[in-house]
Amino acid sequence: MFSLLVLLLSLMLSNNVVVYGNLINHNVNQLGSINGCDLFKGRWVYDDDASDYPLYDSSVCPFIEKQFDCLKNGRPDRDYLKYKWQPSECNLPRFNATEFQNKLKGKQMMFVGDSISLNQWQSLTCMLHAADPQAKYISKRIGPTSIFTFPKYNTSYLMHRNAFLVDIIMENNETRVLKLNSLSSADEWKKMDVLIFDSWHWWLHTGRKQPWDLVQDGKSTYKDAPRLTLYEKALNTWAKWVDSEVDTTKTKIFFQGVSPDHDNLVSLGGSNTCVGITQPLNNTEGVHEEELVLEKVLKGMNKQVYLLNITKLSQYRADGHPSVFGHGGHRDLDCTHWCLAGVVDTWNLLLTALLG
């Protein structure tokens, strides 16, 4: 029982995550639009005002992970830092870190998910730190949770590594059981004021990268099933928990849409990875099934949950990945995560706008 999934952690630190991303969705149940303007519909425009973008200088973010620190890793081009998301019918409000911190005063915001959640959490903490570099911050880690606090503002931004949301538990004799009906971390989540969930990429892993041996689904136990089916069942467990246990007038809930990767890109015509791409794409691919599954589950919920509909806008940004400037060059190509500063900062601008 206690031998819970600590083993998962090390696995999740690996970066070779496969994402078949695609669009769909902003406000599943309400919101997503501000005064009738759909923030997720728009285009990327080059903003050459030096004071606008990037939103921070990654070299002044001392806690940034190497894998996201593309400039330091030698990325030579910089246009990717200068694109601003322009909604079709309104402007995305500028980020004001002081206002953000004041809004969160005395509160706790937690990201729950895989390394794409980590990417967004780091973006947000860099944005906040860069705006007030003198403000002390405390960063610590307790088990699977990283806790970043700014005592000056009394705000906490947490990152809980949890790729499946549901549990993986070690049972008799080294059998790792994926429990589709169990959310042992939920009590910890419930204490938060804002939660941003994410799950998908790890559902695709098979073989050595699959961190479980058996699936337990209600009273039955089996070896495997189509991954979309498992994903939907797990999301339903999560949705049922939100609907029955979470007071969403106190805890605001977001779900991060599927983050698209750029491997095997038909739209790149010929070049099938993100290597060497320095400008946003003009076209995106279509909708993928996992996004539809997520949308379906969210739409079936009673409580108010916001979908951060970042899929399509990120699909344009094949230029935004670390490529060979993440972990270790061509042998560890990364067309999945996002350079910081970069695309994910925009996700946080959208999150800020939806927080109200």
Ligand X SMILES: *[C@@H]1O[C@H](CO)[C@@H](O)[C@H](O)[C@H]1NC(C)=O
Q: Which residues bind ligand X (CB under 6 A)?
A: 23-26, 38, 40-41, 96, 98-99, 106, 108, 154, 172-173, 279, 281-282, 295, 309, 312
Q: Are strands 83-87 and 42-46 parallel, antiparallel or unpaired?
A: antiparallel
Taking a C-beta distance cutoff of 8 angstroms, is the pair 92, 353 a contact? yes
Rounded Cα distance, 113 and 164, in Å: 7
**Exposure string for 336-354, b = 16+ CB within 10 A, e = fewer:** bbbbbbbbbbbbbbbbbbb
Strand partners, 4: none
Neighbours of 43 (CB within 10 A): 14
Active-site residues, by number, are 115, 334, 337
The number of CA neighbours under 13 Å toward the Cβ of 230 is 25
The nearest distance, CB 172 to ligand X, in angstroms, is: 6
Written as six digits, the tokens of 82 are 């200068």
Q: How far is the CB of 310 from ligand X (least distance, A)?
A: 9
Query: Could you tell me if 124 and 196 are in contact, meaning their C-beta atoms sit under 8 angstroms apart?
Result: no
**CA 20 and chain centroid, separation:** 14
**CA-based radius of gyration for the chain:** 19
Ranges assigned E (strand) in the chain: 33-34, 37-38, 42-46, 83-87, 108-113, 138-142, 145-150, 155-161, 167-171, 175-179, 194-197, 214-217, 220-222, 252-256, 305-308
| Closest to 274 measured CA to CA, from 53, 19, 84 | 19
Q: Whole-angstrom Cα distance, residue 64 to residue 128? A: 13
